[in-house]
Amino acid sequence: MTSPRILPATMADVAPIAELHARSWQATYAHMLPTEHVRSHLVQEHAALWRDRFMRADDPAMRIWKACPDMANGSLAGFVCALSGGDGILLDNLHVAATWQGRGIGRALFHQVRDWASALDPDAALYLWVLASNTRARQFYDRLGGRAGRVHPIAVSPGIEVPALRYVWQTEKI
């Protein structure tokens, strides 16, 4: 496989992105979330989140990209969302489909956000939140040069908090 195609996501990508997001959470966090939540509410919450985000797709402080295999705008291999705010640029929801993991897609999506962040605000730190128990993601972000902070509880859904770490890439690292 050659490098994945990283493209701006569009309203047509809402359902595939919401589905990949929910599947990723079900596979990674099922042991941490209530069973009923994983079975029903998670899918609905992610669908609503992505519908809302795509309704604001013209917001200059938000970007959503998708990774497609080398075929012309083919199936969704992964996606990422980035949000600019007062405390830096949040890399939010970087997910790669299980069948595409280990092929450089996550790294390519990360670099897309990093490059956008550098162009948007060269002085802003790039950061993300990762659940403390997600060892695989933490190792990935460590390899990309992120520095993990202390563990803090974060809300992942109404009434559900889990321990997470804030990873930061300072401007000199980007």
132-158 tens-digit pLDDT:
989 999 999 999 999 999 999 988 777
Q: How confident is the model at residue 174 (pLDDT cuts 50, 70, 90)?
A: very low
End-to-end CA distance of the chain: 27
* Of 131, 133, 139, residue with least CA distance to 166: 131
In which element (H, E) is residue 166 found?
strand 160-169
Q: Give the tokens for residue 79.
A: 């996606």
CA dist 112 and 125 (Å) reads: 15
Q: Where are the domains of the chain?
A: 5-124
* Choice between 130 and 74, residue whose per-residue pLDDT is larger: 130
3-state secondary structure 110-145: HHHHHHHHHHHCCCCCEEEEEECCCHHHHHHHHHCC
Helix axes of 14-29 and 42-55: crossing angle, nearest 10 degrees: 140
pLDDT-above-70 percentage for the chain: 87
Provide CATH code, domain 5-124.
3.40.630.30
